[in-house]
Chains A and B, each alone.
Chain A
Amino acid sequence: MKDTLLPVAHVFALVMMVFAVTMLAPLVMAIWELDPALWSFVMSAGATFVLGALLWLTTRRFKRELKTRDGLMLVALTWVALPAVAGFPLWKFLPINFTDAYFEAASGLTTTGGTVLSGLEFLPRSINLWRHLLSWLGGMGIIVLAVAILPMLGVGGMQIYRAEMPGPMKDSKLTPRIGQTAKLLWAVYAGLTGACIVCLKFAGMNWFDAVCHGFSALALGGFSTYDASIGHFNSVQIEMVLTVFQILAALNFATHYLAWSQRGVTAYFRDAEAKAVLGVLVVSCVGIALFLVLKGTYPDFPTALRHATFNVVSIATDSGLHTQDYSRWPIFAPMWMIFLSCIVASSGSTGGGVKMIRTLVLAKQANRELNMLVHPNMVRPLKVGGVVIANRVVFAVLAFVFLYFMSIVTLIFVQLASGLDFLTSLTAIIACINNAGPGLGLVGPGSNYGVLTDFQTWVCSIAMLLGRLEVFTLLVLFTPTLWRK
């Protein structure tokens, strides 16, 4: 136990110190604005850095190359512990208890975007910046960031990169060195974020809102600086900018890199996942718009299309920004959106859920089984986008989907047992595990997670972490083999 945990703690200490540095951003903001949260940030940043440094010094003797199991443990440990650290300034400054602070920080880091806070527009800007910065850091992954900027992780870097990066096939690297790959992904991510911020500014936001919502959009986080979310702006331009960037963020960032390095869009056409994502989104937006007109929710098609497009894209990509209280739409529409949130985001994107690639693999596998019934001797490899998927990957996908589904069911039962109503339990768990944000019922877009009891809030926090780490990385902590010598 000592031999396993201490080398991991040594690297974790480094991650903590990097994380403390990121707290300087809200700290500078607080100095700039002379706002009352300054002291909370000074304390948090100082304490995090000093704790990290102490841990680093005391565990220095145990430094060694990380093995696969260490990688898993490091990532799980980081994701469980960091929300507590990140929630500290919120807990210190706002009138909320630790449970809610942990939830809020976890919701940011996992890019879920569900909040327990109301009156967001009246919070100090430093607090809002911190919430959005958490989303942004968690979007591409705090561990991937550590791999990019800490040079000595080497092979161990690959192990932890794989434990954090979403998607079933993680062996393909953009460059031979994992550190280089992580740097490129972060560069693409930061570049797109910058572009989004500038576009939002031109679409009519002030710089602060543009930065915050740019972070939200690219991380598919879903935090906003207003209770009414994007509905506050009531601007078609802003909605269009955000829609485009949310779709971009829901595609594989490796594809963005390829497209950029080849100076062309052919990379997107070769990416079977990207095509499926776009197809599903277009059909759903138009379909729901028609449905809403038919049901009389909106008087004319253009209005219906505008609202359907923004909200469907936002929920389906697991972002969670919204312009309308879509929980008042006829129940088919919001349920369809929540269903989409399970499958739409690509692997290697910042979105959550099962990921489009796994959906495609499962669909093809189902199709293969059907064909095998008719032609028992048929030989047919499973192909997605012309590339053969190894059976090993198919099995892993099946196991993943089973675990994902069972996690959802179990947590829903826990919520029901705690006394929450059915619609809220169902949608809160699905929205949390998919890192989508708002659910329906009590936690719908018109309300927030503040109404839940402490116990129910913790269950939601667990769901978010499970979803962000794609179940395996977190569940593996509870397997006895990991802890055996």
Chain B
Amino acid sequence: MKIIILGAGQVGRTAAYHLSREEANDVTVIDVNEEILRDLQDRLDIRTVNGNAASPRILEAAGIASTDILVALTNSDEVNMLACQIAWTLYRTPKKIARVRSADYTERDRLFGENGVAVDVWISPEQLVTEYVARLIRYPGALQVLDFADGRVRLVGIRALSGGPLVGQALRTLRDHIPTADARVAAIYRAGRSIKPEGETVIEDGDEVFFLAARKHIRVVMKEMRREEAPARRVVIAGGGNIGFRLASELEDKNQVKLIERDSRRARRVSELLNRTIVLHGDAADEELLLEENIDSTDVFAALTNSEEANILSAMLAKRLGAHKVMALINKPSYAELIESGSIDVAISPQTITIGSLLAHVRRGDVVRVHSLRRGAAEALEVVVHGDADSSKVIGRSIEDIALPEGTTLGAVVRGEDVIIAHHDTTVQPDDHLILFLTDRRHIDAVEKLFQGSASFL
């Protein structure tokens, strides 16, 4: 697929990286900063064009006329929307994805689409990150909580700890432990390596376990993996930027939220917009301030400022001062690897969270949702199967008969409103949503082919 990415910021660069490493994609990146482009071109097999992203002349130089997908990721909402409009009006680009941050635009559904601005899909990285962090806070103990089928099914990543009833037991016994709920373990990572989850596999202390379950069953299953933690009540957020502010406004009704912001004017502005949150003006790495605000009895400390180094340091400090669980927003993948083995509980990577929503659009077949996991090495996706038993390689077959590529688990089937946890005898029907987990992203080609159905149907 021919893809043009506008803007070589953090999100743009990550998108270029993830998209270009798939052989089928031809990626061109447009940005005004020539140095960033030169650096990017040294590391990725892509083309770069230097110039204004919303200029038709520059878009033409990047080959907009034959482009399949335009991804506008500059830091200006207006440039992104205008570029999509230009691409549609002048060149009829089939798919246009824009990063639109301001809720001012995104709240108004009629603004986009047929008679509005020609943006097919808008994504707001800040919104995605906020939702992600909010879900983590809602499920204490989880490393990752990802939605499928509009939240009916969730994929949860959790570190198993001794004390959970299932730890030390074979997976097969899960049904005996919790007869009322059903779940499927999709992947197990032990010391960084994936282990194929089978009935006889024994979960050990310290394993990173990914399981799929219906939303209402998640807490019960989590309880099997580690002792249940009390729900988070007291939350401290460092950084009153876009993400920190959104998170505070989402949590403030049910939790006791404190927000620390360094800039006094921003602090003032945030405090005007929020109702119940306690907004504090100060430095999140100031020990005195943290102690004064009872950091030792805080359930969650989330460092969400723009500076990842500051996030790491303040999160480490908060942990040492007694915060129960600390999270830090980190952009560099290498930092994330460094700190998750240290004192910080969860590293939040905005790029990995955002990239999934882009990947869903470049996948062949009817892929409705993609989540990138483990820094892009693994992937979880939701595929809709179409056709009938003749045209499709999966419809009408039971799961044990489907030839899944190596490292791929079919975890759940969503049929209408029902969530069916996949077992070997579950039969796939037309228009089912299948939730798949790939421990090795390199097999994505084989997976795409399997679920694409025959050409005649398309």
Contacts and interface: CB of A to CB of B under 8 A. Distances in A.
Interface of A: 68, 151, 154-155, 157-159, 171, 173, 175-180, 390
A155 B45 contact: yes
A179 B23 CA distance: 11
B38 A157 contact: no
A430 to B, nearest CB: 34
B42 A68 contact: yes
Contacts of B27: 176
Given A175-B47, A176-B47, A158 B41 contact: yes
A68 B23 CA distance: 21
Contacts of A159: 42
Nearest to A68: B42
Contacts of B20: 176
19 contacts: A68-B42, A151-B23, A155-B45, A157-B45, A158-B41, A158-B42, A159-B42, A171-B38, A171-B41, A171-B48, A173-B47, A175-B47, A176-B2, A176-B26, A176-B27, A176-B45, A177-B45, A178-B45, A180-B26
A173 B26 CA distance: 12
Nearest to A181: B47
Contacts of B28: 176
Interface residues of B, number: 16
Given A171-B38, A177-B26, 11 more contacts: A151-B23, A154-B45, A155-B45, A158-B42, A158-B45, A171-B41, A176-B2, A176-B26, A176-B45, A178-B45, A179-B45
A175 B48 CA distance: 10
B43 interface: yes
A436 B351 CA distance: 53
A175 B38 contact: no
Nearest to A156: B45
Interface in B173-231: none
Interface in B379-430: none
Interface in B5-59: 20, 23, 26-28, 34, 38, 41-48
A173 B40 CA distance: 14
A157 to B, nearest CB: 7
Given A171-B38, A171-B48, A155 B43 contact: yes
Interface of B: 2, 20, 23, 26-28, 34, 38, 41-48
Contacts of B43: 155
B45 A175 contact: no
A173 B47 CA distance: 6
A390 B43 CA distance: 21
A-side interface mostly: helix
B365 to A, nearest CB: 23
Nearest to B25: A176
A175 B27 CA distance: 9
B46 to A, nearest CB: 5
Nearest to B28: A176
8 shortest interchain CB distances as A-B pairs = A176-B26, A176-B47, A173-B47, A155-B45, A176-B28, A154-B45, A176-B46, A176-B27
Among A159, A171, A176, the one with the most B-chain Cβ atoms within 10 Å of its Cβ is A176
Contacts of A177: 26, 45
A144 B47 CA distance: 17
A80 to B, nearest CB: 25
A22 B348 CA distance: 53
B19 to A, nearest CB: 10
Contacts of B2: 176
A19 B48 CA distance: 32
Contacts of A179: 45
A390 B35 CA distance: 11
Nearest to A180: B26
Nearest to A154: B45
Contacts of B38: 171
A180 B44 CA distance: 14
Contacts of B47: 173, 175-176
B62 to A, nearest CB: 9
B32 to A, nearest CB: 14
Nearest to A173: B47
Nearest to B2: A176
Nearest to A157: B45
Contacts of A173: 47
A53 to B, nearest CB: 25
B47 to A, nearest CB: 4
Nearest to B42: A68
Nearest to A179: B45
Contacts of B34: 390
A390 B47 CA distance: 19
Nearest to B26: A176
A71 B241 CA distance: 43
Contacts of A158: 41-42, 45
A406 B61 CA distance: 39
B29 to A, nearest CB: 9
A155 B44 contact: yes
A151 B45 CA distance: 12
Most chain A beta carbons < 10 A, residue from B2, B26, B38, B47: B47
A178 B28 CA distance: 12
Contacts of A154: 45
Contacts of B41: 158, 171
Nearest to B16: A176
Nearest to A171: B41
A178 B45 CA distance: 6
B49 to A, nearest CB: 9
A207 to B, nearest CB: 39
Contacts of A176: 2, 20, 26-28, 45-47
B422 to A, nearest CB: 35
Contacts of A157: 45
Contacts of B44: 155
Nearest to A159: B42
A155 B45 CA distance: 5
Nearest to A152: B23
A258 to B, nearest CB: 12
Contact of A175 (B23, B26, B42): B26
